Amino acid sequence: MKISCEEAATICNKSQYKEAGFWQVLKLRFHLFTCKTCAKFTKQNQMLSSLCDKANLNVLSESEKENMKKDLEKHL
């Protein structure tokens, strides 16, 4: 489930993002949850942030987000 910051940046990158599969997007979101550096970066980068949020809304249902949170808590 863990990906590097570089991979996260690649997935969250313009055209790459549209081509990213469900699991890649999920891994990206998970990375943004766990990596303060990337979370901060996406907040600073409004375009990138809104792109990710939009995709997140399209890709993840509420229950899936809940599952991600639970999954995250297991790793803490």
The residue ranges that bind Zn ion (CB under 5 A) are 5, 35, 37-38
CB of 63 to Zn ion, least distance (A): 26
CB of 48 to Zn ion, least distance (A): 13
**What φ, ψ does residue 21 adopt, rounded to 5°?**
-80, 175
- Nearer to Zn ion (CB atom), residue 1 or residue 5: 5
CB of 52 to Zn ion, least distance (A): 13
Q: Is 21 left (phi over 0), alpha (psi -120 to 50) or beta?
A: beta
- Nearer to Zn ion (CB atom), residue 17 or residue 62: 17
Torsion of CA 9, 20, 30, 58, to 10 degrees: 120
